[in-house]
Amino acid sequence: MARITCPNCEAKATITSRETQSAHVVNLYCSRTNTNEYGATCRITQSFDHFLNPPFRTIAQLAASLIKNLPREE
């Protein structure tokens, strides 16, 4: 689980809303937990970068595709 912190003071912040930009990018609108005293709100952009370990199904599909495309002799 991700922990959202204030970029200014690094205290805990709460996601108040989100706006999807694309399938892999979302803007998170956040506010500090004690906005009465501090008043800070911010927008954090979250994006997908890459898999560290691809899903098992993807690996199996890739292997099947490679085997299917091998010459008959191999």
Give me the residues of the chain with pLDDT under 70, please.
1, 35-36
Q: What is the DSSP string of 5-59?
A: B-TTT--BEEEEEEEEEETTEEEEEEEETTTTTS--EEEEEEE----SS--HHHH
Whole-number pLDDT of residue 3:
78
Q: Which of 48, 72, 51 is nearest to 62 (CA)?
A: 51
Whole-number pLDDT of residue 37:
73
Q: Which two tokens stand for residue 23?
A: 């399938």
Element (H, E) at 66: helix 56-68
Whole-number pLDDT of residue 58:
75
Whole-number pLDDT of residue 25:
96
